[in-house]
Chains A and B, each alone.
Chain A
């Protein structure tokens, strides 16, 4: 089953912060975050493993609450280059390790 992302879209001014959430109804082994710019391929941002680990990438960080099967992506002091569609991909692990199910995406637009 596809994870649910919220919000569907967010508009920011440069320098503002945003949070994107990803929720699954299934037990998860890991959550992967990707960003896709218009007309381009999705690009890997970070992976969160079981254990509530928090990771960071520049001013982008994320958390994973395995009990709630939720992950959140935090974008701090947003830059114009952060604009794009953000996808979470969830991995159930076990025999389907490596297989991701992607959410519908969150469109992030950053204005000057």
Chain B
């Protein structure tokens, strides 16, 4: 199972793009990259996932490098409500694999 590495903390100005990196250099071909976030004292919330291609939804964009060894979650216009811990997880397609949530990146959006 691929281990992911994220910076422990980042900060971003409100209204600017927040770019959260994740390294997953040992990711295998059938492992998807998932992103979740956890706002203080709430349950984690699914954001987005992808395999090879870049993905975009109403919450964020996911950019995966061509070699799939790293990815970046982009919040295009960060708001104060985006302050949270962001988790990057590598998960194989199918099967009963249960992902492990590490310490993630604590993103603070400031005014």
Q: Do A and B come from one complex?
A: no
Chain B: residues with CB nearer than 8 A to chain A?
Answer: none
